[in-house]
Structure 1
Amino acid sequence: MAFACLPSFALADEAANVAAAPIKSEADLKAYMALLPKDSPLYLLQPLDRKVFVESLRFGEKGVTTFSTQGVFDLPPADGRKVLALVGAQDMIDPPSPSSAAATERAVPPAESFATQQLTAYEASYASLLNTTDAVYAHTARPAAVQSFFDTHFAPALAEKQLRALSSRDLAALYRSTVSTTAMFPDASHLGTMRRVYDELARRGQATDGQARDMFGALFRARDFKGLLAFRAVTRKAPEVAPITLDGQLSPRGLHRTLVVDGATVVRADVVDLARGAHIVVVASPGCHFSRDAAQAIEHDPRLAGILGGHSTWIEPTGSATDLKPWVAWNAGHPTLRIDLAASDKAWPEVTRWETPTFLFFKDGKVVDTVVGWPKEGNGPAIEKAWAHANGSTSQM
């Protein structure tokens, strides 16, 4: 399932969008859902997508922070913007041209058309799968919980006869369940299961651009670069996705491996040497506003810039985003705090939590200190203290 995290320092027009949005807080959401207008853009979403979107909304002081985009990007652009405008995030989708907008924009269907539709059995199971994931707070326990739920509620439908017999909505829900499990287990077996369900959607002529993006994302998360090229060769869906190519060889078992973003469609295999001396590994993401706040503060603080600018490697948690432009933009704007991609979670066994930002302080190959997060007041003193510890001195350089 795709999620979006909005930056905390929005541009002026984005701030205006948030200010004009009807839903800016949990209280706003409750009030809106209690009255749910009959012409609400939420009715443009299928029942399952609407449920997931509403239940995924999280808010901070400046409005929405996180939400699911499931189903939103499958709508015509004008409709997708209507849904996201509810929380002020409509600029995530480019406005359609006037000519295309007139041809693709749909009127909001009558409330009864979707409101009276109940979730199917597999849609209800998928919603429960998401609740199961949220309920398991220990990150290390989540994969097992997701796999167990999938095996119980979805695996029986994978037999060819049962797969062919599924309704369209149940098949779509099954596919989403494979997306969730493959995110936890990005291996050949789970990719194969996900691809089987996608191929059935394609056979029926029901595969969507969003479902193709999920397939591209899963292949990239698994670092299956040959698979990316092969899938692109057999689908015209999600035409904006260009397969990412690998420069060099990526060892599947190598420690501290990264992918350096060399362009919008090219990554280069690299390795970070942590065996000797002091070094900081920062888990960060261009889409995380805390990471962006941290980078901005570090660059404006000479002491922190001296520490992080010359003694750190920034890595992005393993993810399924196939658009590398945010990393290209970040690296151009923060040349001393470039973010590379983690080759895999297993390549970084010392990283036990992938919250962003997390600062891990290494000394001769071992983690000696960790600083997590970037609160309003920053974390400068904690970083300086941890660096002095790792560097074996009381100095900051």
Structure 2
Amino acid sequence: MRRTRFGLCLALLLAAPATALDDAPATPPFDSAAALDDWLSHNASPLDLMPPYARALFLDSLGFGPQGLHTLPVDILMAELTTKEAADMLRLLLDGDAPFQGLTSEEATRLRAARAEGRLGPPSEDVLRAYRSWQDALQRDHAASDATAAIDRLIAREAASDHDTGEDLRLLQRAAVQRAAEAPDDVRIDNAVALHARLRSRGLAMRTDHRDLQQALLRGGRLEQARAFTESLPDAGLPPVPVLDTARPLPAGAVGIWTIQADDAPVPTLRLDAIDLGTRIVVVSSPGCSFSTAAAAAIPLDPELGPLFAAHATWLIAPTAIAEAAMLRAWNRRHPATQIHIATHAAQWPMDFDTTPQFLVFRDGVLIERFGRWERDGSDRDALHTMLARAGLLRSTSPAPAAGDNPPQTSGRE
């Protein structure tokens, strides 16, 4: 099971190209912040390319537990390092490849030149302190904390200002976009748009900034604004905003989902359909989650689960994935047994979409059972079977298939 921060949102996982890395010397796994700090004090790393405040933010946001690293603020790396530099750092921390998209070489050169030439001054103490407190609150899941209110006030102040505020603008623009995605309302979205426009006018808005604002606009339901924004940046590599086919109105009280049309048009089309929740298994899934892809690979081959899911399951992804319709269309072509649909409104569902995979059973529109995990080795198969039997969809518990039917998967990408 995986829970993602906004910096690890679906756009990063789906849109990022796979990154080839040169062979690097093996490094010991770091089981504590002290071990990592000691290694960094004796070795060069991509973190040396980051300004001191960003390096400190990244290191302070890492979380270690009994089994090693468990919290990794990828969004900070993506804002400061190229794709290759970030991948090298993630390989050091994770001992494996991580296909996230960072700055282009040109963007990194432009950003670092602005700092070297004094055109981008360091952040102010009050903004940096507020940003750090807000990030700490997010890690503790204190979404409605005083720190969140403080960062909202600073975002509003910055949006109303026309002064050159250096790194304050970069930090608060990132915070504004994240806040607009977390709790979309007109004020937050407008603030995010305003700060992004100022950053863009200074030549300091990067492709990660463009992508995150597009996501925030889509999460807030501003499809036409997202479409115009995307068209204004033809070279940014943003996924196209799809065409929405709403010709067939939904019945009163129906829950809507977007079905991705299986055509070859340059811009995908999403058809609005009503999902039948009479007897339905809903799998909250993401092609960017290796646990989800393991489930999608194993379940169709299971002699009991396969036929049941073929008859009653809908694989569903968060509404923000509307920006990734082209990628999802390609996924569906490669995985016809587990084709993904897109939820139209998160508020219509009794679960969050950040945790994947989740297995939920509905009867007559009511959630009656849920199961919230799938290990990559398939070891959760019997627990899922038990839940489905409890829901009346299977009659008896049977053992899992042989281990060879559930090969370990180490990557959430195809």
Calculate the TM-score normalised by the size of structure 1: 0.76
Query: For residue 68 of structure 1, what is the amino acid of its counterpart?
Result: V
> Structure 2 vs 1, CA of residues 124 and 65 (structure 1 numbering), >3 Å: closer, same or farther?
closer
Secondary structure of 1:260's match?
strand
> Structure 2 vs 1, CA of residues 126 and 360 (structure 1 numbering), >3 Å: closer, same or farther?
same
Percent of pairs with identical residues: 24
Structure scoring higher RCO (CA < 8 A, sep ≥ 6) equals 2
2:97 maps to what in 1? 89
- Looking at structure 1, the residues matched to 313 and 229 of structure 2 have their Cα atoms a distance apart, in angstroms, of 36
Tell me if structure 1 keeps the 8 A contact 2:181–2:215. Answer: no
1:44 maps to what in 2? 49
Does 2:244 align with 1:240?
no
- Looking at structure 2, the residues matched to 183 and 84 of structure 1 have their Cα atoms a distance apart, in angstroms, of 25
Counterparts in 2 of 1:145-294, with a 5 A limit? 147-158=148-159, 160=160, 163-235=161-233, 239-249=236-246, 256-262=255-261, 265-276=267-278, 278-294=279-295
Query: For residue 258 of structure 1, what is the amino acid of its counterpart?
Result: I
Shift, 1:66, TM fit? 5.1
Secondary structure of 1:302's match?
coil
Tell me if structure 1 keeps the 8 A contact 2:27–2:92. Answer: yes
Unaligned runs of at least 5 residues, structure 1:
8-12, 108-112
- Looking at structure 2, the residues matched to 95 and 128 of structure 1 have their Cα atoms a distance apart, in angstroms, of 26
2:406 maps to what in 1? none
Shift, 1:290, TM fit? 1.4
Tell me if structure 1 keeps the 8 A contact 2:137–2:147. Answer: yes
> Structure 2 vs 1, CA of residues 86 and 294 (structure 1 numbering), >3 Å: closer, same or farther?
same
> Structure 2 vs 1, CA of residues 201 and 315 (structure 1 numbering), >3 Å: closer, same or farther?
same
> Structure 2 vs 1, CA of residues 106 and 86 (structure 1 numbering), >3 Å: closer, same or farther?
farther
Shift, 1:244, TM fit? 1.4
- Looking at structure 2, the residues matched to 157 and 90 of structure 1 have their Cα atoms a distance apart, in angstroms, of 34
Unaligned runs of at least 5 residues, structure 2:
1-5, 14-18, 113-117, 398-414
Shift, 1:372, TM fit? 1.2
Shift, 1:80, TM fit? 4.0
Moved more, 363-372 or 258-267: 258-267
Tell me if structure 1 keeps the 8 A contact 2:359–2:371. Answer: yes
Secondary structure of 2:356's match?
coil
Shift, 1:339, TM fit? 1.7
1:3 maps to what in 2? 8
RMSD (Å), alpha carbons: 4.1
1:302 maps to what in 2? 303
- Looking at structure 1, the residues matched to 348 and 125 of structure 2 have their Cα atoms a distance apart, in angstroms, of 40
Listed one character per residue, the Cα deviations across residues 153-201 of structure 1 (whole Å, up to 9, x for unaligned) are 443333x3xx222521011111111122112122333211101111222
Listed one character per residue, the Cα deviations across residues 184-241 of structure 1 (whole Å, up to 9, x for unaligned) are 12233321110111122223333222222221121222342211221134346x6211
> Structure 2 vs 1, CA of residues 341 and 384 (structure 1 numbering), >3 Å: closer, same or farther?
same
- Pairing partner for 2:129 from 106, 124, 132: 124
Calculate the TM-score normalised by the size of structure 2: 0.73
Secondary structure of 1:43's match?
helix
Moved more, 126-135 or 180-189: 180-189
- Pairing partner for 2:36 from 18, 32, 41: 32
- Looking at structure 2, the residues matched to 74 and 321 of structure 1 have their Cα atoms a distance apart, in angstroms, of 27
Q: How many residue pairs are counted as aligned between the two chains?
A: 367
Does 2:398 align with 1:394?
no
Secondary structure of 1:314's match?
strand
Secondary structure of 1:346's match?
helix
Query: For residue 307 of structure 2, what is the amino acid of its counterpart?
Result: G
> Structure 2 vs 1, CA of residues 357 and 55 (structure 1 numbering), >3 Å: closer, same or farther?
farther
Moved more, 382-391 or 196-205: 382-391
1:110 maps to what in 2? none
Secondary structure of 1:336's match?
helix
Tell me if structure 1 keeps the 8 A contact 2:295–2:378. Answer: no
Listed one character per residue, the Cα deviations across residues 290-322 of structure 1 (whole Å, up to 9, x for unaligned) are 112222221331111111122111111344684
Shift, 1:377, TM fit? 5.2
Query: For residue 361 of structure 1, what is the amino acid of its counterpart?
Result: V
- Looking at structure 2, the residues matched to 344 and 47 of structure 1 have their Cα atoms a distance apart, in angstroms, of 41
- Looking at structure 2, the residues matched to 184 and 70 of structure 1 have their Cα atoms a distance apart, in angstroms, of 17
Listed one character per residue, the Cα deviations across residues 258-297 of structure 1 (whole Å, up to 9, x for unaligned) are 2233477424133343343x21011111111211222222
- Looking at structure 2, the residues matched to 151 and 95 of structure 1 have their Cα atoms a distance apart, in angstroms, of 26
2:368 maps to what in 1? 368
- Looking at structure 2, the residues matched to 255 and 50 of structure 1 have their Cα atoms a distance apart, in angstroms, of 48
Tell me if structure 1 keeps the 8 A contact 2:50–2:80. Answer: no
Shift, 1:366, TM fit? 0.9
1:10 maps to what in 2? none
- Looking at structure 2, the residues matched to 21 and 310 of structure 1 have their Cα atoms a distance apart, in angstroms, of 47
- Looking at structure 2, the residues matched to 184 and 127 of structure 1 have their Cα atoms a distance apart, in angstroms, of 17
Does 2:347 align with 1:346?
yes
Secondary structure of 2:337's match?
coil
Counterparts in 2 of 1:43-62, with a 5 A limit? 43-57=48-62
Tell me if structure 2 keeps the 8 A contact 1:283–1:358. Answer: yes
- Looking at structure 1, the residues matched to 353 and 87 of structure 2 have their Cα atoms a distance apart, in angstroms, of 34
- Looking at structure 1, the residues matched to 324 and 75 of structure 2 have their Cα atoms a distance apart, in angstroms, of 15
- Looking at structure 2, the residues matched to 82 and 354 of structure 1 have their Cα atoms a distance apart, in angstroms, of 26
> Structure 2 vs 1, CA of residues 319 and 363 (structure 1 numbering), >3 Å: closer, same or farther?
same
> Structure 2 vs 1, CA of residues 73 and 356 (structure 1 numbering), >3 Å: closer, same or farther?
same
1:337 maps to what in 2? 338
